[in-house]
Chain A
Amino acid sequence: MSFQPVHFYQTGTFTVGNRLLSPEERSVQANLERTNSLNSGHRACQGCGEALGARYAIDAAMNAARGRLIAANATGCLEVFSTPYPETSWQIPWIHSLFGNTAAVATGIAAAIKVKRQQGQMADVRVVAQGGDGGTTDIGFGCLSGMFERNDDVLYICYDNGGYMNTGVQRSSATPPAARTATTMPVGPEPGNAFGQGKFVPAIAMAHEIPYVATATVADLRDLEHKVTKAMGIRGARYIHILVPCPLGWGAASQDTILLARLAKETGIFPVFEAEHGEVTGVLKIRRQQPVDAYLKLQKRYAHLFGKKPAVETIARLQAAADKNIRKYGLLDQEAN
């Protein structure tokens, strides 16, 4: 991985900032002057991972683009909680069109910018498209794939909370196996989502051989910012898939949002990596490996696995899936750190 964490002791590179780091080593979020692209007063739930992830990502993109950024936003929690009339939380030029067309809207914005630049009517403004997992992996997937294959100059950011949370926690194609949602209940014998379904869009994005694909979580801010910054330095279609825990949909405590994102990574359930032109070029190693139970038990959407008779086999399948990720992406490194 090209990204070398700053070797630093008292606080390492794991905190948001550090009074002891030189300014250029500090994160965007540590900056007094950060954009706060998504400002206070939004109506996200307490401890919302998506609100956090969006500010992390867009502030980093704003920093990389020197403030010249336009965002297109899919329908969903992020849109609803940020822009109910008469107030918007966005401090950047921002447009919401539909649930399923965000990548295409962004393509249009990028095309307009290109033409306006040719005519000397606009500076080099960059484009970000963003949406939740429903708007990305399900309904917006066609437009997303189209944007990818044309290699349009758009950074698409998916905030993955594993379901349709805005409409009351329904299953999406990003809902993980065994997780319970309002619509997995009626399907099949188990209350949780079936195994062997769903799709991992980062891998599909890689299949388009676009210049850059990465995954990240809200638990590793520096890694996330590094990836956004790197993506902003590249032209063409780019995709970043950020895991953003949802206290409401996951049935978790509001203060555990970052902890859950961290556990998703540390268990191997959510592989954090980056890829260029279809090939994995770096992984964020597991630092303190944890069994999947540590992650599952904090969430009511998995509570049915831990009743009086724990669903040992289901938990073992989830562990096996995490282990497979660990093998596939090489997430464990004895020499880590």
Chain B
Amino acid sequence: MDKPFAITLDPGSSLANRTGSWRTSRPVYLDRLPPCNKQCPAGEDIQGWLFHAESGDYESAWRHLTKDNPFPAIMGRVCYHTCEGACNRGRLDEAVGINSVEHFLGDEALKRGWKLTPPASDSGKHVLVVGAGPSGMSAAYHLRRFGHRVTVYEAGPLLGGMMRFGIPKYRLPRDILEAEMQRVVELGVTVKLNNKVENILDTMREGKFDAAFLAVGAHIGKRAMIPAGDAAKVIDAISLLRSMEGEDKPMLGRRVVVYGGGNTAIDVARTAKRMGAEPLIVYRRTREKMPAHDFEVEEAMQEGIMVKWLSTIKQAHESSLTIEKMALDSKGFPQPTGEFETIEADSLVLALGQDVDLGLLEGVPGLQVSDGVVQVGANMMTGHPGIFAGGDMVPAERNVTVGIGHGKQAARHIDAWLRDEEYTPPPQREVAVFENLNTWYYADAPKTVRPMLDIIRRQSTFDEVQGGLDESNALFEARRCLSCGNCFECDNCYGVCPDNAVIKLGPGKRFQFNYDYCKGCGMCVAECPCGAIKMEAEEI
């Protein structure tokens, strides 16, 4: 074409005009820490595994998840999922059902027979783990993945620790528990059951262990000083729950009184109900003050379990209990009123907390114990070099998820310690708060509720109460994730840039800014649904 001078121009020639020089601030991509991840005691990358689940790639999701926590099927049932309380979606409609998707992924893995990734190398080091509960098995898994030889000593006859002896079947079916434990064993972890460690130093010396992780749990039921007649049947909750795992089921009678207000009290009462008893919980304060999780109390009451609030047990007799009514003082503490009554009871179960059996630690130099638990540093190591501890035996909230988190953390520090190094966690990323999001882009979608077992079977059998999601609704639920702070490749930045200054790198590769043309308008930041871009002042 014979183009006239100046009037007619070649297409796209404006690329010669680098408008990036106009910019006073520049957008940068970042991965903010999603609040769910921040909240998770087990340190799961929840947003990360949901990302895979959203596309229906459940195996990748499961593999991503199990990098941090090898027990999703267990977690999906017993974790108290505080992540959901932190979920930003809760401010939009309802929190994402993280726990239910985890439940689905865990079950899917068991159904499909997915195996954990075996270690790539062998370090030649040998680590002793004491206790095959959540914390111990979590540590065993992570240590094995680091390439260390791992031997677990378990005092009891089965794997699972408190998950088996403290959590009733109707919340955690035993085949699920067993399967996830075995999967860790299959990685090459040696387990010695019925093998109580009497003295840690002796055992380490004898077994030539290079380090040890102690996670013996808290198995000793606390006894309150309740005067009881010889004929009175008084047992502790942990013993009761443990005996449920054996051949000889405990004889509790019809009228079972459970004393306490924690989750264990609820577990015991619901267990007794399923054994045909009529359980009554006696608790010294009110429902609002009850430490048990609300949903567990709710489920128990649905199942017909009665609670006697503001009551303490003063005395146990052969077939009755003396109760004193309490009243809350101005500070909310229960105070005796001097009013008594008698209730009939065939047995009394005490669910007043547990203590740790610290016998194995006697004579260990440097080790500190206070308030009945072992003191550890930020690296989970006790005062004695090479001996680490976690789970219920160290000062922390006592639940499965915390224990699993301890196991992972300890494994990282043990791994570093074995190499004479120090593990430094990656710097904490800034948290993706609700205000970072542009929620316009998320369609309204209510939470999917997992099916509940019908009430008759809940009252009479140990069948699992809470069902799982099926594939379609697990996918739906996964897709409710807002992907807080982490790019999910929605193409918004690529689309909304008036200057075509965003380069799309292709599926899975995210985007790049073309600073030659980016004028720094900030539209990409404003319209990023998940807060994965921020503006930074340009150095001029």
Chain A residues close to B by CB (< 8 Å):
7-20, 26-27, 29-30, 32, 36, 38-44, 46-49, 51-52, 55, 82-83, 85-92, 221, 247, 253-259, 262, 288, 337
B489 interfacial by beta-carbon distance below 8 Å: yes
Residue pairs across A and B with Cβ atoms less than 8 A apart, 15 shown, are: A7-B443, A11-B529, A14-B442, A15-B529, A17-B491, A18-B489, A19-B488, A30-B491, A36-B500, A39-B14, A42-B17, A46-B22, A47-B519, A49-B498, A257-B498
A29-B495, A47-B523, A51-B498 known; A13 vs B443 contact (CB < 8 Å):
yes
The answer to whether B492 touches A9 (Cβ under 8 A) is: no
The answer to whether A8 and B9 touch across the interface, beta carbons within 8 angstroms, is no
A27 touches B495 (CB 8 A): yes
Q: Are A18 and B480 closer than 8 Å at their CB atoms?
A: no
Chain B 18-43, CB-CB to A under 8 Å as 1, else 0, gives 11001000000000000000000000
Report if B486 contacts A (CB, 8 A): no
In the complex, what residues of A have CB within 8 A of residue B490's CB?
11, 15-19
Q: Are B495 and A89 in contact (CB under 8 A)?
A: no
Chain B contact residues: over half helix, strand or loop, or mixed? Answer: loop
A12 and B482 CA atoms in complex are apart in Å by: 11
Distance of A234 Cα from B357 Cα, bound (Å): 82
Of chain B, the residue at the smallest CB distance from A90 is B11
Taken together as a complex, chains A and B put the C-alpha atoms of A293 and B242 apart, in Å, by: 64
User: Which listed residue, A7, A16, A40, A253, touches B14 by the CB 8 Å rule?
Assistant: A40
Inter-subunit contact A47/B11 (CB<8 Å)? no
Cβ-defined contact, B526 with A16, below 8 A = no
Contact A15 B491 (CB under 8 A): yes
Alpha-carbon distance between A83 and B6 when the two chains are bound, in angstroms: 10
Would B480 and A82 count as touching, CB distance under 8 A? no
Residues from chain A with Cβ under 8 Å of B508 in the complex: 19
**Beyond the given A10-B481, A30-B491, A41-B18, could you list 6 further A-B residue pairs with CB under 8 A, ordered by the A residue number?**
A17-B494, A19-B55, A40-B15, A52-B498, A85-B9, A255-B522
Say whether, besides A47-B523, A255-B523, A258-B526, A40 and B441 are in contact (CB < 8 Å): no
A10 to B439 Cα, complex, angstroms: 11
In the complex where A16-B495, A85-B9 touch, is A256 in contact with B55 (Cβ < 8 A)? no
Q: Is the CB of B17 within 8 A of A255?
A: no
B501 touches A40 (CB 8 A): yes
Contact A256 B526 (CB under 8 A): yes
Q: Please tell me which one of the listed residues A7, A10, A44, A262 contacts residue B442 in the complex, with CB atoms under 8 A apart.
A: A10
Question: In the complex the two chains form, is A43's CB within 8 Å of B19's CB?
Answer: yes
Q: How far apart are the CA atoms of A257 and B478 in the complex, in Å? A: 31
Q: Is the CB of B15 within 8 A of A52?
A: no
With A11-B529, A27-B495, A40-B500 as contacts: A88 and B14 at CB distance below 8 Å: yes
Compute how far the CA of A47 lies from the CA of B499 in the bound complex, rounded to whole angstroms.
Answer: 9
Residues B476 and A46 in contact, CB atoms below 8 Å apart: no
For residue B235, which residues in chain A have a CB less than 8 angstroms away from its CB? Answer: none
Kindly state whether residue B49 has any CB partner on chain A within 8 Å: no
Q: Give every chain A residue within 8 A of B494 (Cβ-Cβ).
A: 16-17, 29-30
- 5 nearest A-B pairs in the assembled complex, by CB-CB distance: A17-B491, A12-B443, A16-B495, A41-B14, A255-B522
Contact between chains at B501 and A11 (CB < 8 Å): no
Closest to B19 in A: A41
- Minimum C-beta distance from A80 to chain B (A): 13
B16 at the interface (CB under 8 A from A): yes
* Beta-carbon contact of A32 and B506 below 8 Å: yes
Q: Which residues of B have CB within 8 Å of A262?
A: 440
* Chain A residue at smallest Cβ distance from B520: A46
